[in-house]
Each structure stands twice: as structure tokens, then as C-alpha cells.
Chain A
Amino acid sequence: MESATGRQIRCVVVTPETAVLDEHADFVAVPMYDGELGVMHGRSPLIGRLGVGELRLRRGSVNQRVYVDGGFVQIRDNVVTLLTERALMSEQINAEAAAEELRSAVAKVGKTEVEQTEIKKAQARARVKVRVAAKA
């Protein structure tokens, strides 16, 4: 599919189990550890850490959303490669289950510091899932 500019980038998402996604897009927004990073054709090479968040691909007027749970990103030669432990397409996320997960994560109380950070992480994951599912 040719886009308006005719210059696309390839986006690959790989988990330890399988390659989840391999598509071309006009624009990719990658969830980094400290915020979102937009990538278009001609981006200079980069290696970075991912955070928990939502990966967005735009191709023409079609938007695609993927939930990504940490990992790494490598950008070179107009190929964006995401290595993550878990990736879910927006269709794969059940909105109700995600909402339930968020509720239970919020309800939990951590006694030790380790527990508290774990709970915070779980909450962040659930929030992103809810967000990705809501827009699907």
C-alpha cells in the first residue's frame, strides 16, 4: 500500500515466543521508558529502553494499537524493531478483563517497598491495557 508520501517504515514486534507483528506504516509511536517517541521515515539509528505503554502505527487513515510491556527498541535503516516480553494486539485485550485487573490492582495494599512497587507496576500495566482496549 502506497502512502501519501510514499515513504514508509517497517515495524517489527518480537516476543520470546513469536513475532507478533511485521507491518509497514507511515508513522510509529513507540512507548519509551520516559515517554512516547514518534518515528517517521529517515529516523537516525537508535537503541532504547521501552516502558509499559501503547505502540501506535498509522498507515494512511488506519490506526493500529499494540500493548507493549517493557523491553527494547532498535531503529535502523527505517526498520523499527521492538523486543518485548509481552505484546498484545488491541483486539486481543478484553476490555472487561482489563478493567477488572485494574480494579484488583488498585484495591491491593502493599506492606513492603518491594510489594508497593510491584503493585504500582501492575496498576500501570492494567491502565495501559484499559486504554488500548477502549480505543480498539
Chain B
Amino acid sequence: MANTRELVKRRKAIRNIRKITRTMELIATSRFKKAMDRATQAEPFTRKIAELAADLTANAGAIRHPLLEVRETTKNSVLLVLCSNRGLCGGYNGSILREAGQGFRKLKADGVNVAVEVSGKRAINWCKFNGITTDRTYTHFEDKPKFEEVNELAERFIAGYVSGKIDRVDVAYTRFLNAARQQAVLETILPFSGPAKTEKAPTGPKVEYEFLPDAAGILEEIVPVSFKARLFKCFLDAAVSEQIARRVAMKAATDNADEIIRSLSQEYNRARQSKITTELSEIIAGAAALE
């Protein structure tokens, strides 16, 4: 029979761990809500831009912009990996890095120079471990990415693409589908696929707009802005997904701890009971021997 003291000690240790995981779960929940709010607040901008683009294309025809051009040969590409700074979030980082690794190997096999840019300590360590040299690393994108910070990256990508130094930009991140589903994906954001299309069909009569300066000119300006919004959305999605992943992981850990505590308590009670029984029978045996 197991030592009761040992069992009590183990149970205590697991209780303490449970406290920590439970707290982390709560923190992740509140952070997730905040991140989610930010993501929903960012939505009107993307929607409006898409609306404007749709109105403009109706007036100006097809969009032509350097960012939309597909290069015949890809020589230099950038792979941006968005991971978390902290662990304890289940398979979140693992699945992103799996996608990123696959993409990286595929590009390498095609003879493309890949510049790897990573965000998050987890991804930095992974690159170090796998012997992938990183061109730039970021650790300042936490659960609240700022547009200005993302803007810097976007501006650099745009300048690089327009000047021909970069032929392609891929992002590996976790796309937020809904609160129950997130998916690690590798997406090509440059060449840009154009402003997102509005889902709703145009209602009512077409509005006759006045354009300042002209439809084509504005459309050209909209492309980089919607690219920036797109990249920003990647960061927001990543932030939301990270918190969800952490919450799920910590919830599972807390549940597990509960189960272990229960089984340990049971074992402890049994051990104690059998000890008492043994003692009793010893006393009875002793008393019987005296008679």
C-alpha cells in the first residue's frame, strides 16, 4: 500500500498547479475578450475599403497596381511567421511552425531565396533549433498589435515589392474562423489578390459618385491601404487565436488536475482505511493472545 504521506504531498503539489493553470485560464479568457473586441473594431475599416473598391471598380474598370502584378519567376521571397512569445498554449505554435516549415522547404526546393521574418520567441527558438537563419525577429507583437507597428512592416514589404527586391510574401499564422475554430495557414499576401470583395450584392440603384481626383487614381491608392489592412488582420487574428489556444490548453490542464486530485484522494482514503483496519486487527489479535 502506498505511503499516505507521499500521497498527501503529491495531492498538495497538484492542487497548487491547478491553481496556476486555473488562473492562467481566466487571464487568457479576459485577454481573448479584449483581443476579440479589437478584432471586431477593426472590421468596419476593411468592410468600408471593400465597399469603396467595389464602387470604384464599377466606375473605373479593372484595377492595375504594381502590388497586384504576378511575377513570372520568383527569385526572392519573404516568409513571415507569426507565433507567440510564450508557451503553454497547446498546439498553437506547433501547427503554425509545421505550416511554416513546409512552406519554407517548398520554396527552397524551388530554388527561391527565402528571407525569414519571425515574430514571437517560440518561433525564434524553433528557427535556431532547425538551423534556419532569420533575417528579422520581432518580439514586441503581444496580444495587442498596433496598426503603426504593423504599418512599418507593410511599408517595407510594399517598397520591396514595388522596387522588385521581393517577388513574393507569405505569412504563416493562425486564421480565426470563429470562437471554436482556428486554423494554422500559410497565405501568400504578395502578389496581392486585391481588396476583399463585399459579400452583399449591391442593393438599389447604383449611386452616381463624384470623384476627387478621379476613380482610377483613388483606386490605385486604395490597393496599398487594403494590403496594410489585410496584414493587420493577420496580426489581429493571430492574437485572438493565441488567447483561445491558451485558454483551451489551460482548461484541459485544470480539468486534468481535478481528475488526478480525485483519484489521489481516493487512493489516499483507501490507504488510510486499510491502515486503520490493519491496526485494529492487530489490537484485537493482541487482546485475544492475552486471554
Contact = CB atoms under 8 A, between A and B. Distances in A.
Do chains A and B stick together as partners? yes
Interface stretch (B49-57, B75-83, B178-186, B282-290): B49-57
Contact of A76 (B49, B148, B207): B207
Nearest to A82: B48
B208 A16 contact: no
The range of chain B's interface size is: 20 to 34
Contacts of B210: 44-47
Given A14-B44, A85-B228, A47 B147 contact: no
Interface stretch (B62-70, B89-97, B215-223): B215-223
Contact of A32 (B148, B212, B221): B212
A14 B45 contact: yes
Contacts of A46: 209-212
B48 A81 contact: yes
Interface string A20-44: 0000000000001110010000001
B41 interface: yes
Nearest to B56: A47
Contacts of B215: 47
B209 A47 contact: yes
B34 interface: no
A13 B228 CA distance: 18
Interface string A51-78: 0000000000000000000011010100
A104 to B, nearest CB: 18
B218 A72 contact: yes
B82 to A, nearest CB: 17
Interface of B: 38, 41-42, 44-46, 48-49, 51-52, 55-56, 146-148, 151, 207-213, 215, 217-218, 221-222, 225, 228-229, 232
13 contacts: A17-B42, A18-B41, A34-B213, A44-B208, A45-B207, A45-B208, A46-B210, A47-B52, A49-B218, A72-B49, A72-B218, A74-B55, A83-B48
Q: Which 7 A-B pairs have the closest CB atoms?
A: A48-B212, A18-B41, A46-B210, A16-B147, A45-B209, A45-B207, A14-B45
